Homo-oligomer: A and B are copies of this chain.
Amino acid sequence: MGMVGGGPGAFIGEVHRKAARMDGGVELVAGAFDISPRKSKQMGREQGIDSRRAYTDYETMIERELRLPESERVDFVSITAPNNWHFPMAKAFLEAGFHVMCEKPMTMDVREALALEKVVKRSRKIFGLMHNYPGYPMVKLARDMVRQGDLGKILKIVVQYPQGWLIRPIERQGQQQASWRTDPKQSGAAGCMGDIGTHACHLAEYISGLKTQQVCADLTTFVKGRRLDDDGNCLLRFNRGAKGILHASQVSIGEENNLAIWVYGEDASIEWHQEHPNYLYVNRIDAPQEVWKRGNDYVAAKSPAADRATRLPFGHPEAFLEAFANNYCNFADTVRARMERKKADPLALDFPGVADGIRGMRFIRAVVSSSGKGAKWVRM
């Protein structure tokens, strides 16, 4: 495994490394961690990487790695550079013959996303997109319950992703995470809705198997001087007649990372909270509420995907890093199968890819367009 981005001080790059390393089957051996050569070398040292493979830019990285014998070369590359670099980097690595795991958002807009789709297809390489929340076992259980028909026809989905950390204009105080997220050049057309609204939309589609068809969105920038939305409320219409609500915020004091979803069907409903990820609440008509708890045999029996995504016994809580790592596991197993010219375990194919990235860009375009028109329905 190689990495682009994730230099000193970066948040998500380190999460990628921890997640990739968790199960011991993946080793970081090269990287272009930072545009500063000094910092890239520094991170290489910290990661125990041969100093010759701590590069200063991704083009050099590609060039030099290709010179190595195939058995020494990185098998895949994780892209954790700022958003605006995702597309050119992913394209370059794919075209050079490397598999790619890309941090979300996949690209800056729909056009790039569709272009990348073509690159992926042509390259015949494996492309993973780091939407980490479907990595949670209980999310996989939820999806499998829907697939198995437990909920019956789905009527309504409520999905939310409120945070509060941007209630003050900390981007003006040089807070790094805040700065790029509120900068249209680095983040694209949407702020809050791009950063976290997309996660909410993705989760709803992942669990329900439905597609958002239309959105009616009311985005707001509550903090004066900020250049992107920091809050948004949407009505949704899915295929097969399901309705929905999606709201997200970065200015909701007291909310930390409160992604949560409720899916109501004709026969049952489910509820899941990212901050308490080991539990799935299931309601059926005229019956006690069921609390499904990660790690139990009854979960494994219902959802082999949830079982595969489980490392610890019940009661020993798993959390964010493990979910992240589950995407790496599945991605890496798929890469490994490809390299060994074997058929991948069908369960290993359960990681987001380029199609999810396109959905994300379409969602952003739709909500920004809808809100710009004063909250009119826009097709997605």
Instruction: Give the B-binding residues of A (Cβ under 8 A).
Output: 11, 15, 17-18, 21-24, 27, 46-48, 155-156, 158, 160, 163-165, 167-168, 216, 218, 220, 222, 231, 233, 235, 237, 243-245, 247, 249, 251-258, 262, 264-269, 271, 274-278, 281-293, 295-298, 311-322, 374-377
> Which residues on the B side are within 8 Å of A377 (C-beta)?
374-375
Q: Bound state CA distance, A168 and B285, in angstroms? A: 10
How often does this chain occur in the complex, in copies? 4
> Which residues on the B side are within 8 Å of A281 (C-beta)?
254
Interface contact B291-A289, CB-CB below 8 Å: yes
CB nearest neighbor in B for A236: B233
Interface contact A256-B24, CB-CB below 8 Å: no
- Top 6 nearest A-B pairs (CB, nearest first) are A254-B283, A256-B315, A257-B315, A317-B319, A319-B319, A288-B290
Contact A253 B268, CB 8 Å, known A21-B22, A235-B375: yes
Q: Bound state CA distance, A298 and B284, in angstroms? A: 12
Interface contact A254-B158, CB-CB below 8 Å: no
> Which residues on the B side are within 8 Å of A23 (C-beta)?
18
Contact A253 B284, CB 8 Å, known A27-B48, A318-B321, A322-B321: yes
CB nearest neighbor in B for A289: B291
Interface contact B286-A297, CB-CB below 8 Å: yes
Q: Bound state CA distance, A247 and B160, in angstroms? A: 13
Shortest C-beta distance, A318 to chain B (Å), equals 5
CB nearest neighbor in B for A256: B315
Contact A286 B312, CB 8 Å, known A267-B253, A317-B320, A320-B318: no
Contact A156 B231, CB 8 Å, known A298-B288, A374-B377: yes
Q: What are 21 sample pairs from A and B whose C-beta atoms fall under 8 A apart?
A: A155-B222, A156-B249, A167-B285, A218-B237, A233-B244, A253-B285, A254-B264, A254-B269, A254-B281, A254-B284, A256-B314, A257-B313, A257-B314, A275-B317, A288-B292, A288-B296, A288-B298, A289-B290, A317-B317, A318-B319, A376-B376
> Which residues on the B side are within 8 Å of A319 (C-beta)?
316-319, 322
Q: Bound state CA distance, A17 and B247, in angstroms? A: 40
Interface contact B298-A251, CB-CB below 8 Å: no
Interface contact A315-B156, CB-CB below 8 Å: no
Interface contact A256-B216, CB-CB below 8 Å: no
Shortest C-beta distance, A319 to chain B (Å), equals 4
Interface contact B11-A313, CB-CB below 8 Å: yes
Shortest C-beta distance, A326 to chain B (Å), equals 13
